[in-house]
C-alpha cells in the first residue's frame, strides 16, 4: 500500500530559552521536546512535535523517546491515512502519554493533508486559504515580583501585542498586587488573561477574581487544582471573571464531563493534552454544541507544533483566543516554513498542502531512534 508507514524516526530537540518561563508550577530554562517523522511507502514524510510538561502531563523528553519507540513499532505497516485507527492502536497499547501521542498525531495529519492536496486547516474542515480568519496571539508575563511583572507587561505593550497573559497562583494577596501593579504601569488596555495554573483553593479563587474583575480581565485559566473539578462550577458562579478549564480539560471525555457539570464558560485546548488534533477537534465540536468559547494554546513547542495548533484554531468555529507565544521565547528557531509572527501578535499560516512546516535537520543531529518495517 503506497500510504503504509514504512519508517518512523524520533529525535530530541533541545533549545535554551531567552529567559526562564515561570509559573506557579515552577521554572523552565530549556526546551526539551521530541520530533517524530513518519515516512510512508510512497516516499512522503510527515512531521510532528511534542513538548512534554512533566508537572501537567507527567512526561519528559526521555519518557517520550522511550514510549515513542513502542508506539512506532505498533504503527509500522499501518495505513498512515487511518488516523482514527492509529489513535485506537496507541490508546490500546498504553494509557495516557498524551504528549508523545500528539507528535505522532500531528505527523499523520501532515501526511493526510498532503495526500488530500489541502492545507491542514482545510483538511480539518476550515475554509479555503483566502477565507482564513485573522489570528492573533497574546504574550505571557511569567510569575514573579510585581515590579518585574509590570516592566515585562510594559515591554509587551510596546511590542504591540493585543492581549497580555499573566501567570499567577502562588499567593492570592500577592496576585492581586501583581495585577494592580501591571495596570498601574500599562493603563486600562490591553485586556489581560489570567492563568493560576491550579494555584488557588476555591475560596481564594473567588476572592481574588472578584478583586481583579475591574482590571479588564478576559478570563482566568484553571484557578483551582484539576482534581477539584467538581467545585469548579461553584467558582464559576461566584466569579465575575469567566473561567477557562485547562489542566482539567485534556481530551473530549473531560470536555463532556465539564459541560455536564456546567463547570466553566471556556476551554483551553492544547495538542499535548489532547493527544493531538484528532481528539482536539472533538473537544471543539462539543464546545460548539454547548456554546463554550475555545482558546488554542500549547506548552513550549516550536513553530512546528504551533503551526498545527494555528491550523486547528482557524478551522474551529468556537475558537476565539490564541495563546501561541512560546516559540518567540526560544534562543534559536529550528523550523523551516510554518507560521510567522508579525506586528501586533498577528499569525500568518503557511500556504500549500499539509502542515507546511518541518524541523531543520541541523537541529536534530545524527542521534535519535529509528523504527523500520522489516
What is the mean predicted confidence (pLDDT) over 320-325?
Answer: 97
What is the mean predicted confidence (pLDDT) over 23-47?
Answer: 95
Please say if the pLDDT value at position 368 is more than 70.
yes
pLDDT in tens, 170-226: 999 999 999 999 999 999 999 999 999 999 999 999 999 999 999 999 999 999 999
- Higher pLDDT: 128 or 55? It is 55
pLDDT in tens, 49-107: 999 999 999 999 999 999 999 999 999 999 999 999 999 999 999 999 999 999 999 99
Please say if the pLDDT value at position 2 is more than 80.
yes
What is the mean predicted confidence (pLDDT) over 23-36?
Answer: 93
C-alpha angle 141/145/147, rounded to 5°? 85
Give the pLDDT band of residue 150 (cuts 50, 70, 90): very high
Please tell me the distance from the alpha carbon of residue 326 to that of residue 345, in angstroms, as a whole number: 12
Please tell me the distance from the alpha carbon of residue 196 to that of residue 68, in angstroms, as a whole number: 31
Q: Is 46 exposed, middle or buried (0-12, 13-18, 19+ CB in 10 A)?
A: buried
Domain ranges of the chain: 5-118+360-372, 123-357
DSSP letter (8 states) at residue 331: S
Do residues 249 and 256 make contact, with C-beta atoms less than 8 angstroms apart? no
What integer pLDDT is reported at residue 127 of this predicted model?
63
- Nearest-CA neighbor of 368 among 11, 37, 8, 111? 11
Sequence-distant (≥ 6) Cβ neighbours of residue 203 within 8 angstroms: none
Please say if the pLDDT value at position 131 is more than 60.
no
What percent of the chain shows pLDDT beyond 90? Answer: 92
What percent of the chain shows pLDDT beyond 70? Answer: 98
- Given the residues 165, 270, 273, 279, select the one marked as catalytic: 270
Please tell me the distance from the alpha carbon of residue 223 to that of residue 221, in angstroms, as a whole number: 6
- Given the residues 221, 247, 254, 323, select the one marked as catalytic: 221
Query: The domain 123-357 is classified under which CATH number: 3.40.47.10, 3.20.20.120, 1.10.260.40, 3.30.450.40?
Result: 3.20.20.120
Give the H/E segment covering residue 315: helix 303-315
What integer pLDDT is reported at residue 1 of this predicted model?
78
What is the mean predicted confidence (pLDDT) over 351-367?
Answer: 91
pLDDT in tens, 266-321: 999 999 999 999 999 999 999 999 999 999 999 999 999 999 999 999 999 999 99
- Given the residues 32, 49, 110, 246, select the one marked as catalytic: 246
Provide the 3-class DSSP secondary structure of residue 305: helix
270 is known as an active-site residue:
yes
The CA dihedral of 114, 119, 120, 123, to the nearest 10 degrees, is -90
167 is known as an active-site residue:
yes
| Residues in a beta bridge with 193 | 165, 219
165 is known as an active-site residue:
no
What integer pLDDT is reported at residue 7 of this predicted model?
97
82 is known as an active-site residue:
no
What is the mean predicted confidence (pLDDT) over 248-255?
Answer: 98
Query: The domain 5-118+360-372 is classified under which CATH number: 3.90.1010.10, 1.20.1070.10, 3.40.50.150, 3.30.390.10?
Result: 3.30.390.10
Give the pLDDT band of residue 373 (cuts 50, 70, 90): confident
- Given the residues 138, 195, 251, 301, select the one marked as catalytic: 195
C-alpha distances in Å from residue 70, one per residue of 49, 102, 138, 205: 17, 15, 37, 41
246 is known as an active-site residue:
yes
What integer pLDDT is reported at residue 126 of this predicted model?
77
Same topology, domains 5-118+360-372 and 123-357? Answer is no
- Given the residues 165, 167, 273, 279, select the one marked as catalytic: 167
- Confidence (pTM): 0.96
Average pLDDT, the chain: 96
Amino acid at each position: 500500500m503506497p500510504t503504509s508507514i514504512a519508517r518512523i524516526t524520533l529525535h530530541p530537540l533541545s533549545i535554551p530559552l531567552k529567559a526562564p518561563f515561570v509559573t506557579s508550577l515552577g521554572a523552565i530554562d530549556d526546551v526539551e521536546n521530541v520530533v517524530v517523522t513518519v515516512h510512508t511507502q510512497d516516499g512522503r514524510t510527515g512531521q510532528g512535535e511534542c513538548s512534554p510538561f512533566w508537572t501537567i502531563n507527567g512526561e519528559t523528553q526521555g519518557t517520550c523517546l522511550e514510549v515513542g519507540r513502542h508506539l512506532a513499532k505498533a504503527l509500522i505497516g499501518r495505513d498512515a491515512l487511518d488516523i482514527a485507527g492509529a489513535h485506537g492502536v496507541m490508546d490500546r497499547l498504553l494509557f495516557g502519554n498524551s504528549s508523545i501521542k500528539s507528535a505522532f498525531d500531528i505527523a499523520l495529519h501532515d501526511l493526510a493533508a498532503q495526500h488530500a492536496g489541502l492545507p491542514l486547516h482545510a483538511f480539518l474542515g476550515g475554509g479555503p486559504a483566502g477565507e482564513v480568519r485573522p489570528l492573533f496571539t497574546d504574550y505571557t508575563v511569567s510569575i514573579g515580583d510585581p515590579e518585574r511583572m509590570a516592566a515585562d507587561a510594559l515591554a509587551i505593550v510596546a511590542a504591540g501585542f493585543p492581549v497580555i497573559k499573566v501567570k499567577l497562583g502562588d499567593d492570592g494577596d500577592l496576585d492581586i498586587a501583581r495585577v494592580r501593579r501591571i495596570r498601574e504601569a500599562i493603563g486600562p488596555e490591553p485586556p489581560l488573561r489570567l492563568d493560576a495554573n491550579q494555584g488557588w483553593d476555591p475560596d481564594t479563587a473567588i476572592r481574588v477574581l472578584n478583586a481583579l474583575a475591574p482590571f479588564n480581565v478576559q478570563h482566568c485559566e484553571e484557578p483551582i487544582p484539576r482534581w477539584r473539578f467538581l467545585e469548579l462550577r461553584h467558582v464559576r458562579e461566584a466569579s465575575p471573571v469567566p473561567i477557562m478549564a485547562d489542566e482539567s480539560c485534556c481530551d473530549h471525555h473531560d470536555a463532556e464531563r465539564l459541560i455536564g457539570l456546567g463547570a466553566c464558560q471556556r476551554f483551553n485546548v492544547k495538542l499535548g493534552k489532547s493527544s493531538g488534533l484528532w481528539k482536539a477537534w472533538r473537544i471543539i465540536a462539543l464546545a460548539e454544541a454547548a456554546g463554550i468559547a475555545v482558546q488554542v494554546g500549547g506548552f513550549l513547542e516550536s513553530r512546528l507544533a504551533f503551526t498545527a495548533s494555528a491550523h486547528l484554531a482557524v478551522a474551529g468555529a468556537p475558537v476565539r483566543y490564541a495563546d501561541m507565544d512560546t516559540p518567540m521565547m526560544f534562543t534559536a528557531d529550528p523550523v523551516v516554513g510554518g507560521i510567522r509572527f508579525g506586528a501586533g501578535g498577528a499569525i500568518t499560516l503557511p500556504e500549500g498542502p499539509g502542515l507546511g512546516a518541518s524541523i531543520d535537520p541541523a537541529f536534530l543531529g545524527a542521534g535519535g531512534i529509528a523504527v523500520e518495517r522489516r
